[in-house]
Amino acid sequence: MKQEFIYLDHSATTKVDDEVMDTYIKANDNFWGNASSLHNFGAIAETVLLKANRQILDLLNANNHQVIFTGGATESNNLAIKGLAQANPNGHIITTKIEHPSVYEVCLELDKAGIRVSYLDVTKSHAEIILELESLVTKDTFLVSCMHVNSEMGMVLPIMEMGQVLARYPRVKFHVDAVQSVGKLPLDIDTMQIDLLSASAHKIHGIKGIGCLIVRNGVNLVPQIAGGGQMGGIRSGTVNVAGAASFAKAMRLVIEGQTKCFSRIKELYDYLLKQMAGIDGVQVNSIFTAQSPYIVNFCVDGVRGETMVHALAEHEVYISAKSACSSKSSKASYVMLALGFDERTATESLRVSFAHNTTRDEIEKFIEVLKQEVQRLR
């Protein structure tokens, strides 16, 4: 069936790729045994699981890590941070104020519980961020947790340089939320010296309900779910073998096409910004020195973000206000406030996000409808 609507909210979720769905269905049809069972049918399912594990590690060049399959990146982030924090109850965490709620709110919670939390000022240059990071590390620091690409703004943080600094402090573990960078930007776990990395399948054309936390061997996490001791005792619960197999397939497809896709998306990004510059009242907010072309944050002067989202939806053009996890809140974006934007801009902010299958025709249709609604609402 031909898709008639325009979907530009791929940072919230993506359509499942046909090949990925085929892998999921075949795995459920043929390898539906419990991977923890002792019998041969269970062992076959375990083999499929181990193959998915190995493929993901190879794709991200993680030679000294293991994959913990989870229910999604929110669980992965919670497991990484809480799993380390419970082993360091009087320690120190370094993060940023632009993190996804599954990192930011966890750190706020831990701060109240007695763990000291420091926040990097990411409004500075990358060189200044690295200098500040070095100055914040203390003898009590056990974790630095930050995202690679901000999901609202598309800002890219200097993960490579941060990893190089933190490698000099073996006690400090480096956790990266890579939800918005897997399959879009170069990601090499060993070279970037990442200890823990969170990823989600449904952001890369996989199914919902499956994610992973990639953990360096020797990093000890306190389990957050008690039960049967699956996933090396770190994450109990019957493992979603079909989900894991399809996740590995989704990751392979996006990474194999990453370079070609990036060039095309960058052209769309540049085209969209040029068109927006000609619309009176539209302000583009996501023009950072290091910027992912997959995300464009903008606002319309005098129009609340949610109002514009609903107006565009009447034309079957779908974008978002803020990130998906906070888009239904009427409050100003805490991410934008942390980046120095004023309250009005942070309330009116909107996000367009691309995927590998976004077309020039879709962008042109979006611009046409946006111009119409900007004129009407202003």
So which residues are the catalytic ones? 325
Closest CA to 74 of 246, 212, 174: 212
**Which of 172, 152, 157, 161 is CA-nearest to residue 297?**
152
**Could you tell me the sign of the dihedral formed by the alpha carbons of 198, 182, 158, 274, in that order?**
negative
Closest residue by Cα to residue 313 from 5, 13, 14: 5
Cα 167 to Cα 172: distance, rounded to the nearest angstrom: 8
Separation CA 195–CA 312 (nearest Å): 42
CA 375 remoteness from chain centre: 34
Give the Cα separation of 35 and 17 in Å (integer).
25
Which is it for strands 211-216 and 65-70: parallel, antiparallel or unpaired?
antiparallel
Residue among 287, 299, 300, 350 nearest 323 (CA): 350
Q: At residue 120, what is the residue type?
A: L
Residue in 217, 220, 210 with CA at minimum distance from that of residue 72:
210
337 torsion bin: left (phi>0), alpha (psi -120 to 50), beta (else): alpha
Q: What is the dihedral of CA 117, 148, 234, 231, to 10 degrees?
A: 180
Q: Is the dihedral of CA 278, 279, 281, 285 positive or negative?
A: negative
Supply the DSSP symbol for 149: B
Residue 297 pairs in a beta bridge with 351
